[in-house]
């Protein structure tokens, strides 16, 4: 009980700071994009839920796109993401993003190897143009261990409330673990750039992960958020320092 | 503590039933629209949050439209709501809806009296066409007493987490209480029809209101939901039986 | 050659009047919808081209929707037409419209008989709400004889410039001539209402049809258009007076 | 008369070839973007009209965006153009494009000099990603002399059919002639790249310009179009060879 209280209290303090920080971004007309990537069950939904819980519904959008339609599949790859980019003062959280083409798509064979390679070459250019336009782009990779993922996926199947979270792809997450690791490593290697760096978060402990994600976001956005406690460097670290620290 | 547990347990049972019921509506391809109306602070956001918490993100949409743009203002009044109507298997929850024109707009002088009257005449026709198309339309009026609203609005101002809920219109909610009552009565009188009836919910006790709203929705949607306990007739009742029971 | 000049001169005079009339509708903020219906090759494209040739590109839209997507098919029938309705000062020309469900769909078996019947019952309600909103709705049925249609469809196949006009449905237009006649008669019977009447145009002579369509539109829109010569009552007449005058 | 016939005959032959070529692009699923830029009255509308006259209405789109809304102005600069990019088999003609920011915007002071510079730096990256995606991008600069523009703008004012072509910016086109020349030169200099080169067209003779534009498009798209006669190198030439040949 004591521990839970402590987490709740810490979360609430950070949520208040998120509210204050968003007041500032709205006032300043700053545009923010936060990309959440990570293996299945790494905690993207839960983190997004806590971050946005008290944020302004009008200036915040969570974007979780469904499978592309046939028409979309034939369009420019980035096209279906672009309409969701923020206007002045808006914060957009992508729950999975254009980086599908660096993870699930190549691993599951939903795109061709040359499309994968092309994407890895184009993504930094695309993001640089967004960044040139004044969009603050925060890219998070939520890392999870193989054992913890197995535990969560099993738990999910048992829980009648999580029925809509269960997906036919869940089984593949464990079966193709190494392929996903390789895809992740290549993505972090090729798309980590100054104007849009990757930040890694260790998420085996969900609550600690959430608090540290919020701290990282607050300090990245700036304004009142700059006053946030620094995230724990064991939990949140730049991709450039992730050597040997990612789930193998 | 004991009481809280009881609510939590009851809510969870109903949420499980919502999940099962949505599986059925998806399977059957049924289209559902739930309209949430009510005075400010009557508990729309909180009810929607609990209802949708475990529903399928892909087949559920919450629609809370911002103020119309100048262009939208000049278009057909219902036009900006129509793109959000459900496809097969989808459930759409409107957090405020086209009924703005039967409440805040005439009360605050944002529309002309003849636009108000025209809307009250047109809404039943509009809804009948939707209903003819197979859309199940559930319209909820969340009723609250003047004293409870005053309490909630005051509380909101104190809470740093509710900063984005505070609006310049809050003060008007109490100041124009009677005008809102009259607008509500006229709306319930003129737009309560067989194909799209109004259901009233007494919300001074938020938790009791939430449980009963979910029971009403489950039984209205049908399928596995038909097995839900009947809502308390003191809390949830048809507009046609609301005489003398609405906050004056 | 002399005759062609006369048509060109008359057309130009009417186009100038269209320009003046549109200046007036823009100035007045009037919303106009013109629905073009009629059998294949009845001259819809050609008429729309002449009407819009000099109209304001910014305040004029031609809407010719493709086949509905699977998702659209499962939505409210009118839903995909609604986003194209006009804002203040705009004129929208529908090249085929929601009346697909009163013609090609029932004749070709693309909808069920009960959907056809439901549509015929709902269309007048839908149009009345638009009309209540101040939209001027002009519905034109371009009528053509069986022999003239046969001639045009044959000509089309020969012309390398009309390759994109040729459709697999062309053959059905003649083969199912009587079914189309019956569907037309039922449509005119059930959806001709005071707030949105049908006007029939005899189009076997394309040029005469075009001039008279424009005259009818000008006089229906009003303002400077009211000064247009009356259309020839042998060419343009209300559905209510079409008995015995439609292609059998 | 003889000369007119020759033009009409040549145009028709090219239009037939456009139809055949589009059949091929649809069949091959090729995506094509044609950007039309040039000073006011340089003949963009007329050229687009002839090119698209017999093309497939379903696979061809003409995009002429209105002034951006306030919200659009605050979004990523390229954002409002992206939804119009082609799907497989589609041809999109932009009547003015993102290059507004290299012409009218800096000349008229609608953007800041650093936004102008940023755009010139970003456009080639943006276009390269499109090109990597398989979009064939044809960029045309329609060049006109100062005297011919003066003549056309004057004529426009007299013609009651061209009332909607007259714009308050027309007067500025002549008054700021040199500024527009400088902006054009800088644009051609900085945004002419291998993957998206600029082609210049001399348009003082409209008909000759149209025929040569179509020839250039046909040969750029390929397939049956490759058989088109080469455009006249005095009328159509690459930006890289435009030194001393552009209207001063």
Using a CB–CB cutoff of 8 Å, tell me whether D77 touches chain A: yes
Using a CB–CB cutoff of 8 Å, tell me whether C54 touches chain D: yes
HEC sequence for chain C: CHHHHHHHHHHHHHHHHHHHHHHHHHHHCCEEEEEEEECCCCCHHHHHHHHHCCCCCCCEEEECCCCCCHHHHHCCCCCCCHHHCCCCCCEEEEECCHHHHHCHHHHHCCCCHHHHHHHHHHHHHHHHHHHHCCEEEEEEEEECCHHHHHHHHHHHHHCHHHHHHCCCCHHHHHHCHHHHHHHHHHHHHHCCECCECEEEEECCCHHHHHHHHHHHHHHHHCHHHHHCCCCCCCCEEEHHHCCCCCCC
Instruction: Give the pLDDT band (50/70/90) at residue B2.
Output: very low
Using a CB–CB cutoff of 8 Å, tell me whether A15 touches chain B: yes
Residue C248 lies in a domain: no
- Say yes or no to pLDDT of C3 above 80: no
Using a CB–CB cutoff of 8 Å, tell me whether C29 touches chain B: yes
Residue D237 lies in a domain: yes
Chains touching A by CB (3 or more pairs below 8 Å):
B, C, D
- Say yes or no to pLDDT of D131 above 60: yes
Q: How many CB atoms lie within 10 A of CB C172?
A: 16
Using a CB–CB cutoff of 8 Å, tell me whether C69 touches chain A: yes
Distance between CA atoms of D61 and C61, rounded to whole angstroms?
13
C-beta atoms of C74 and B88 within 8 A: yes
Sign of the C-alpha dihedral, residues D96, D99, D104, D110?
A: positive
Q: What is the pLDDT of residue D1?
A: 43
Q: Is the model more confident about A168 or about D68?
A: D68
- Considering only CB atoms, which chain D residues are within 8 Å of C66? 58
Beta bridge partners of D137: D33
**Cβ-nearest to A163 among B19, B57, B160:** B19
Using a CB–CB cutoff of 8 Å, tell me whether D3 touches chain C: no
C-beta atoms of C128 and B125 within 8 A: yes
- Considering only CB atoms, which chain A residues are within 8 Å of D130? 76
- Say yes or no to pLDDT of D35 above 80: yes
Q: What is the pLDDT of residue C169?
A: 86
Q: Is the model more confident about D169 or about D110?
A: D110
Distance from CA of C87 to the nearest CA of B (A): 4
DSSP SS3 for B142: strand
- pLDDT tens digits for range A4-30: 589 999 999 999 999 999 999 999 999
Q: What is the value of pTM for the model shown? A: 0.94
C-beta atoms of C161 and D23 within 8 A: no
C-beta atoms of D163 and C12 within 8 A: no
- Considering only CB atoms, which chain B residues are within 8 Å of A58? 66
Tally of domains within chain B:
1
C-beta atoms of D54 and C15 within 8 A: no
- Say yes or no to pLDDT of A3 above 60: no
**D129: nearest Cα among A102, C56, B78, A130:** A130
- Say yes or no to pLDDT of D2 above 60: no
Residue B190 lies in a domain: yes
Q: How far is CA B74 from the centre of its chain?
A: 26
Instruction: Give the pLDDT band (50/70/90) at residue B4.
Output: low
- pLDDT tens digits for range B47-80: 999 999 999 999 999 999 999 999 999 999 999 9
Residue B17 lies in a domain: yes
Distance between CA atoms of D59 and D226, rounded to whole angstroms?
20
User: Are the C-beta atoms of D28 and D134 separated by less than 8 Å?
Assistant: no
Distance from CA of A69 to the nearest CA of C (A): 10
CATH number at residue D53: 3.40.50.300
Instruction: Give the pLDDT band (50/70/90) at residue D44.
Output: very high
**C221: nearest Cα among C43, C89, C56, C120:** C89
> Pairing relation of β-strands B31-38 and D236-238?
unpaired
Instruction: Give the pLDDT band (50/70/90) at residue A210.
Output: very high
Using a CB–CB cutoff of 8 Å, tell me whether A156 touches chain B: no
Residue D81 lies in a domain: no
- Considering only CB atoms, which chain A residues are within 8 Å of B55? 164
Using a CB–CB cutoff of 8 Å, tell me whether A64 touches chain D: no
User: Are the C-beta atoms of B55 and B24 separated by less than 8 Å?
Assistant: no
Residue B53 belongs to domain spanning: 2-241
Distance between CA atoms of A132 and A141, rounded to whole angstroms?
23
Chains touching C by CB (3 or more pairs below 8 Å):
A, B, D
- pLDDT tens digits for range D198-224: 999 999 999 999 999 999 999 999 999
User: Are the C-beta atoms of D193 and D240 separated by less than 8 Å?
Assistant: no
Using a CB–CB cutoff of 8 Å, tell me whether A117 touches chain D: no
Instruction: Show which of residues 129-148 on chain D sit within 8 Å of chain A, judged by CB atoms.
Output: 129-130, 132-133, 135
Residue C247 lies in a domain: no
Residue A121 lies in a domain: yes
Which candidate in B29, B78, B82 is best for mutational testing of the C interface (most C CBs within 10 A)? B82
Residue D152 lies in a domain: yes
- pLDDT tens digits for range A44-55: 999 999 999 999
Tokens encoding C176 = 């199912």
Using a CB–CB cutoff of 8 Å, tell me whether D12 touches chain C: yes
- Considering only CB atoms, which chain B residues are within 8 Å of C29? 74
Q: What is the pLDDT of residue B169?
A: 86
Residues above pLDDT 90, as percent of chain D: 96
- Considering only CB atoms, which chain D residues are within 8 Å of C160? 16, 19-20
């Amino acid at each position: 009980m004591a521990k839970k209280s402590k987490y709740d209290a810490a979360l609430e303090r950070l949520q208040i700071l998120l509210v204050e920080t968003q007041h500032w971004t709205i006032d300043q007309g700053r545009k923010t994009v936060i990309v959440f990537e990570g293996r299945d069950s790494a905690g993207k939904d839960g983190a997004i839920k806590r971050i946005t819980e008290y944020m302004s519904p009008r200036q915040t959008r969570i974007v979780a796109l469904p499978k592309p339609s046939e028409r979309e599949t034939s369009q420019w790859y980035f096209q279906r993401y672009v309409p969701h980019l923020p206007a002045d003062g808006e914060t957009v959280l992508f729950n999975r993003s254009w980086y599908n083409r660096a993870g699930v798509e190549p691993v599951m064979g939903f795109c061709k190897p040359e499309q994968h390679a092309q994407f890895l070459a184009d993504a930094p250019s695309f993001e640089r143009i967004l960044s040139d336009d004044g969009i603050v782009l925060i890219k998070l990779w939520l890392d999870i261990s193989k054992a913890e993922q197995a535990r969560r996926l099993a738990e999910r199947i048992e829980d009648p409330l999580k029925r809509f979270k269960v997906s036919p792809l869940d089984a593949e997450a464990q079966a193709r673990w190494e392929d996903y690791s390789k895809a992740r490593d290549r993505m972090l290697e090729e798309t980590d750039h100054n104007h849009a760096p990757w930040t890694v978060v260790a998420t085996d402990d969900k609550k600690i992960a959430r608090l540290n994600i919020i701290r990282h976001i607050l300090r990245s956005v700036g304004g009142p958020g700059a006053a946030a406690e620094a995230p724990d460097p064991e939990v949140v670290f730049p991709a450039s320092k992730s050597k040997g620290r990612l789930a193998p």
